[in-house]
Amino acid sequence: MKIDLEDCDDEASVSMTWSVDADGNVSNQKSGFHMSTEGDVTYGERQYKLSPDDIDFNDGSQLGSGAGGIVSRGVLKKTGEVVAVKTIRIDSDEKREQLLSEIKGLVQAEGCANLVQWYAGFASKMSASVHVVLEFMDLGSLADMKARLDGKGVPASKLSCAAQQVMEGINFLHQKRLLHRDVKPANILHNRKGEVKLTDFGLSRSMNNASLTAGTFVGTTTYMSPERCLGEEYGFASDIWSVGMVLYELATGKYPFGDCKSFLALFDHLCEKPEPRLKADQFPPELCDLVAGCLTRDVAKRASSSALLGHDYVSKDVCTREDFAAWLATWA
């Protein structure tokens, strides 16, 4: 089964740096990005090759969908390995730029065990879309895990394994000078091996030495940091706040601002009320301290990814992936 979306709108605009030829090949002159319908991908000096004919789509089951695209199941014919195929519409300049950000993020993620890896991608001849072939995580997202727990939190002894892996992934991105900008349970995947990996780099942004802050209002609002909610410039610390929100939610089984029904209510929680804190009589002090280090409104006092990697909760007596996998098996 081919994964094609509707034919592109003839009125779709193409910027000066983008071109989509009659065969559906997509190029960006500024970055050196090129993706062909035959499965050749070039980004800078890197080249990738995976033909559409290399993938069996007979199953075709949909794994998920969202603003970033549709994700379906496929199988690499040569190896029998299951993969996730993300279909992304590129019928506007904004979506093309988001695709470029995602490809850049995937290239930068190569070699990190806690960031979802990719194989290659190819453009569609029949539609304004491209297909990106990704590592398959068979238990879905941490949002799926939370749903399976049905209101129960992840035991602190097990959560340490997931927290450590999330920190490794975030620190890797930050060391590469990349902001994720959309850290949330739905963008953190896990599998039956106990592996936890960040994904969805479509909103990631490079932070070079000349520009250590960003100013655009993008990402999932409910996990956004106070400085972003205020429309202020933000940096790597904004990802850390989002990580803290995720860990709080997984520990308690509840979103920190559960009564939020409007942006004004969210603003009140983020910018006026005391920051969320885990109850000291219900959670170990190491976990409470880690979450507090993330959910600190004062950016200057908020912990960095490198500092958090050395935190006792994720560096001492951490649950092994084997034990975490065994616990996951009771809920999968």
Architecture of domain 18-135: 2-Layer Sandwich (3.30)
Is 0.95 surpassed by the pTM of this model?
no
**Domain range annotation of the chain:** 18-135, 142-329
- Given this model, what pLDDT does residue 217 score? 37
Q: What is the pLDDT along the chain (332 residues), one digit of tens a residue?
A: 333 333 333 334 445 788 888 888 889 888 889 989 888 899 888 899 988 899 998 766 778 776 667 888 999 999 999 999 988 888 888 888 888 888 888 888 899 999 999 999 988 877 778 889 999 999 999 999 999 999 999 999 999 999 999 999 999 999 988 889 889 999 999 999 999 999 987 554 544 443 444 434 334 578 999 998 898 888 999 999 999 999 999 999 999 998 777 888 888 999 999 999 999 999 999 999 999 999 999 999 999 999 999 999 999 999 999 999 999 999 87
Tell me whether residue 7 is one of the annotated catalytic residues.
no
The 10 Å Cβ neighbour count of residue 199 is: 28
Which of 40, 182, 200, 239 is catalytic? The answer is 182
At residue 261, φ and ψ (nearest 5 deg) are -125, 5
Are 130 and 103 in contact by the 8 Å Cβ rule? The answer is no
**Is the domain 142-329 a CATH 1.10.3720.10 member?**
no
Query: Nearest-CA neighbor of 97 among 22, 213, 14?
Result: 14
Mind giving me the DSSP string for 199-252? ---TT-EE--TT---B----S-GGG--HHHHTT--B-HHHHHHHHHHHHHHHHH
How far is it, in rounded angstroms, from Cα 297 to Cα 63?
A: 36
Give every strand in the sheet of 33-35, ordered side by side. Answer: 18-20, 26-28, 33-35, 40-43, 46-49
